Structure 1
Amino acid sequence: MGASCRTRASAGPAAGWSVVTTTRPARPDSGAEVDPRRWQVLWVCLVTGFMTLLDVSIVNVALPSISSGLGASGSQLQWVVTGYAVVFGLALVPAGRLGDSYGRKKIFLVGLVLFALGSLACGLAPSPEALIAARIAQGLGAGVLNPQITAIINSEFRGAERGRAFGRFGATVGLSTAVGPLLGGVIITLVPWQESWRLVFLVNMPVAATAFVLGLKLISDRASAERSRLDWVGTVLLAVAVGLVLGAVQEREVLGWTLVVVALAVAAASGWAFVHWERRYAASGHLPLARPGLLKAPGFGPGVLLGSLYFGGFIAIFFTVTLYLQDALRYSALEAGLTQTPFALASAVAAPWAGKRVAAQGRQLVVRGLVAVVVGLLGVIAVVELAAPAVGDQWTGLLLLVPFLLAGFGSGVVIGPNVNLSLANIDGRDAGSASGVFQTFQRVGSGIGLAVVSAVFLSVSASGDPRDALAAALGVSALLVLAALAVALVDVRRSGDGDGSSEPAEDDDGGGARAGADRGGETGRRAA
């Protein structure tokens, strides 16, 4: 059934994001039968997402081996990490829109091939320069893949099943982030090969090949009827804004604070230009990268801000704890990874549990998860500052078990449900674009949070006790999580969530114009 989309035009530049939908447009997948292979498709998506997110952190423990094997300098090693992360972030929104327009299956497979070829080139790299170039190609593949994954989950599942699917996605994110250092440590420690660091990248090849075959067979190739050429001006403006932010915060020591401030000012100007260009581009009848009004969709704006703040604190935890254990306590890479395993296991258990409850509890569930993370981080600080000195630092790893279990469980309750609730009101034709925007803000939040937290850790450790440095750094992480908690509480209060017991509404034609499980007072806008 067709639908009209009535909008209120902007009164001028000050109106900002101007298009407000009053009648929900028809979803491109409206009326489509539920795919009986959707759970198989989900596992293909989860394994692929795990692989790309794992490569954000697994390389960290391999850097000393790469340095000795290729003779890489400290600056080159930094670009091995930074190149992947920056390009990953740059590709998300354009790739999401390409998936909306040309079919998520096609773009998913293209991204998978790019990632696999980049991984192969990393594993065979003869020089530091070649490795950096390969990591950039790998990051491009990851950036193309990831918005397709969340968009596919968003479009293939309905109702309570959707919560369970995003719960498993949340478990994947938590596991991949926390297990990366452990898996890298296992490979480098146990494989009797002088250049075992190459296996950190080559291990992706059989996984990518299997995912490609299964994706080709199982994923439905649905595309929007609103096919359009890519918005290149918007792409460039967004790339400049995101690239300068990520590059500035990750290369702050090389650039110096003056250039960092200049880069961030240019990024802000580019972001402002992007917003105004997208509004004009959409008004002229073209399909923009991010449709004006997207951030005003119920639950999406708060979810984006919450996710950015949470990932700013969440990602930095593992970096600072690993530095402390390896540098101050002389743990091996494997021992440091094992110490953080309880976080990953608790997150993996909590995420599916939360996925079954998000439809009934809504954003209230995320609030409880954030509280658990904060309490867990405070527990880690207490162990490091009070318990470990009393019984001996050699017991630190064991003493961290309980607070890491609590923080990991809370993290599993936050990540998947927040994605689910944030995308619940997004029209199917914008699922890829919205997923790209959501993940781009997460990457920016991660980069800024990691830069701030690591700067605090290194600054305090340079002039004092490493124990105090870790406590200070984790205190900053806890503050970022508390800021995410404040966003969640405001959203619960503003939306009248109550117990969050409402279910997403469905379109008359079964297409699933979902009104968001966290919106007790909201009803789905139906197709005309």
Structure 2
Amino acid sequence: MSTEPDPRRWRALSVCLIAGFMSLLDVSIVNVALPSMQSGLDASAAQVSWVVSGYALTFGLVLVAAGRLGDDRGRRRMFLLGLGLFVLTSAAAGLAPTAEVLVVVRLLQGVAAGLLSPQVVGFIQDLFQGPERGTAFGLFGAVVGISTAIGPLLGGLLLAWAGDAGGWRWVFFVNIPIGVPALVCAARLLPPDGVRTAGRRPLDLVGTLLLGTGVVGLMLPLVLAERDPAAAPWWLLAVSVAALAGFVAWERRAKRTHGHPLIDFTLLRTRSYAVGATLGMTYFAGFTSIFFVLTLYLQNGLGYTPLQTGLVLTPFAIGSAVTSALGGRLVSRFGQPMVVTGLAVVLAGLVATDAVLGVTAGSPMTGLAIAGPLLLAGAGGGLVIAPNQTIALSEIPPSSGGTAGGVLQTGQRIGTAIGLSAVGAVFFGRLTATGDWASAITHGLVITVGLVGLALVLGIVDLVAARRRPRMPAGEGPPVGTTGPTGGD
């Protein structure tokens, strides 16, 4: 590979970020459209739940295998395939005549998103080095934060424009005028695969099957437990444990026999990667669940419209957008302390949000009152996602960037499912017991605060451990952004 940076790298990144934005937006944009969807298709509560959870399930299922395919068979090829399939399934979802068809299409749309997402991380690994890589990951972190928080607002705007009856269809149609130009630009701007892929490793189909079984067995009961924990198939957790144990044994055997496992577990012996993956999964468990319970509380508890609900959550997106780009540029200078600082700010914002909700219980001014705390939490979040991802991948070679990124994002999806399950169980349990929406939201947020607090503890422990490690001689320290000694020491 040439040492000269690709002159089109920033334009290629913009295409990747647009595609990544669409795939992540579809995790949250449908939430405010669920009542419209249910009435328009005469869908049951279970079918509507699968529109959300089915996408998340298949999204998380294919990430690791898709990252490996990108590493071995070409990122450009996999990116174009994933983006093309995503546009087609978006159109099919918008045209779905029945709830059953919509659920099936959403499962396929999740597969498309899973094919697409790890290629974005892989391209950033390939195209950028040093501080530029931190900046690129900062922009990607902004996309993650904005897409998650802005989904309800965009969904509310579309429903206000198109009307409640068929407005939910535009939640999917909006991807088409964005995705088609992105597909054309990607074909022109992304680097050709032939320049980067010298050989092909075996696909490890057995490992893929075992990992897929393990992920499904873990995520399925979690996503089904969001509204009714008692009805979730918790026995699948035992299947998951068995499948994941078999996966680890098989991958070790593959490493010994032909040297090309689906996941090289030496990645997890890279401290910055192992810590970043664990911290990211824990943070996502807390970070994403706040939008789930707030959307329910504002719309069902306080009678907010979808648009009003989206506007309430917008300050989080604004705060995240501003600090994500800043954090990406500064992570090479400050490293892990920036992530810990961001987690502390998020925790303070969520605690303040919970306190304000308790004071303004049932008030129509609740949305305005929590704008400040949500802005603070979003500002902290921007200092967590992108810097943590930059640090986690700082010692991973570009040839494994897609696989490593797929593992990271699988952890994030699993963390999201765990957080939604835990927070949803407390939220709905309290609502069923008391019928009080204000009490339900404050109790649900206690779990969110606890999960973010756990991520903060992990970050602090890592910082303390890093301080106690022997200093390396000059020039032998870890790459930019890791938790080891920095140039400022």
TM over 0.5: yes
Q: Is the 8 A contact 1:165 1:355 kept in 2?
A: yes
Residue 77 of structure 1 pairs with residue 48 of structure 2: yes
Gap regions ≥5 residues in structure 2 = none
Q: Deviations over 1:85-123 (max 9, x none)?
A: 110001100000000001111110010111111111101
User: Out of 515, 518, 526, which is 2:479 matched to?
Assistant: 515
Deviations 1:297-339 (A, max 9, x none): 1301111110111000011000111111111111111111101
TM-score, reference length from structure 1: 0.87
Query: How far has the Cα of 1:254 moved from its partner?
Result: 8.8
Report the Cα offset of residue 497 of structure 1. 8.8
Shift of 1:505: 7.9
Residues 235-271 of structure 1, C-alpha deviations (whole Å, 9 max, x = no match): 1101011111111111237996586332111101111
TM-score normalised by length of structure 2: 0.94
The 1:323/1:349 distance shift into structure 2, 3 A limit, reads: same
Distance 1:146 1:64, change over 3 A: same
Aligned match of 2:89? 118
The residue aligned with 2:438 is 467
Is 1:316 paired with 2:289?
yes
2:100 alignment partner in structure 1: 129
2:339 aligned partner: 366
Determine if contact 2:226/2:420 at 8 Å carries over to the other structure.
no
Distance in 2 (alpha carbons) for counterparts of 1:394 and 1:298: 48
> Does the CA contact (< 8 Å) of 1:187 and 1:196 recur in 2?
yes
Is residue 408 of structure 1 aligned with residue 372 of structure 2? no
How far 1:286 moved relative to its partner? 4.2
Cα distance, 1:419–1:504 mapped onto 2, change above 3 Å: farther
Is 1:380 aligned to 2:353, yes or no? Answer: yes
| Shift, 1:496, TM fit | 2.7
Q: Tell me by how many angstroms 1:154 deviates.
A: 1.7
Shift in Å, 1:292: 2.2
SS of corresponding position for 1:145: helix
For the 8 Å contact 2:226–2:425, the answer to whether it is kept is no
Contact 1:248–1:255 (8 Å) recurs in 2: no
State the 1:71 CA deviation: 1.4
Specify the alignment match of 1:104 in structure 2: 75
Matched residue pairs, number? 483
- AA paired with 1:367? V
Structure 1 gaps of 5+ residues are 1-28, 507-513, 524-528
Question: Displacement, 1:518?
Answer: 2.1
The farther-off stretch of 203-212 and 409-418 is 203-212
Q: Equivalent residue of 1:335, what SS? A: helix
Equivalent-residue separation in structure 1 for 2:475 and 2:17 (angstroms)? 24
The code of the aligned residue for 1:158 comes to: Q
Letter in 1 for 2:409: Q
More helix, by proportion: 2
Q: 1:338 to 1:522 in 2, by over 3 A?
A: closer
Instruction: Report the Cα offset of residue 495 of structure 1.
Output: 2.3
**311-320 vs 282-291, greater mean Cα deviation:** 282-291
Query: Is it true that 1:448 corresponds to 2:418 in the alignment?
Result: yes
Letter in 2 for 1:456: V
CA deviation map 1:447-484 (0-9, x unaligned): 01101001111111222332222111111111101111
Change over 3 Å in CA distance of 1:339–1:256 after alignment to 2:
closer
C-alpha contact 2:283 2:452 (8 A) present in aligned 1: yes
2:229–2:425 CA contact under 8 A, matched in 1: no
Contact 1:497–1:519 (Cα < 8 Å) also in 2: no
Other structure's SS at 1:293 match = helix
* Structure 1 CA distance for aligned equivalents of residues 197 and 130 of structure 2: 22
CA offset digits 1:5-54 (Å, max 9, x no partner): xxxxxxxxxxxxxxxxxxxxxxxx4x432011111111111111010000
* Aligned-partner Cα distance in 2 for 1:100–1:412: 28
SS of 1:126's equivalent in the other structure is coil
Give 3-state SS (helix, strand or coil) of 2:94's partner: helix
Deviates more, 1:148-157 or 1:254-263: 254-263
CA drift at 1:355: 1.2
Alignment of 1:26-37 (within 5 A): 29=1, 31-37=2-8
Query: Are the aligned partners of 2:30 and 2:171 in contact in 1 as well (CA < 8 Å)?
Result: yes
8 Å CA contact 2:225, 2:231 repeated in 1: no
Per the alignment, residue 323 of structure 2 pairs with 350
Counterparts of 2:180 and 2:448, CA distance in 1:
37
Q: In 2, Cα distance between the equivalents of 1:376 and 1:253?
A: 24
Residues 228 and 425 in structure 2, CA contact (< 8 A), matched pair in contact too: no
Q: Is the 8 A contact 1:504 1:515 kept in 2?
A: no
CA distance in 2, matches of 1:342, 1:193: 25
Of residues 225, 232, 237, the one that matches 1:252 is 225
Between the aligned partners of 2:476 and 2:29, the Cα distance in structure 1 is: 41
State the secondary structure of the residue aligned to 1:175.
helix
Distance 2:168 2:143 in 1: 23
Matched, 1:422 2:392: yes
Q: 1:196 to 1:254 in 2, by over 3 A?
A: closer
What residue number does 1:20 align with?
A: none
1:393 is paired with a residue whose SS is coil
Amino acid at match of 1:414: V
CA distance in 2, matches of 1:302, 1:225: 31
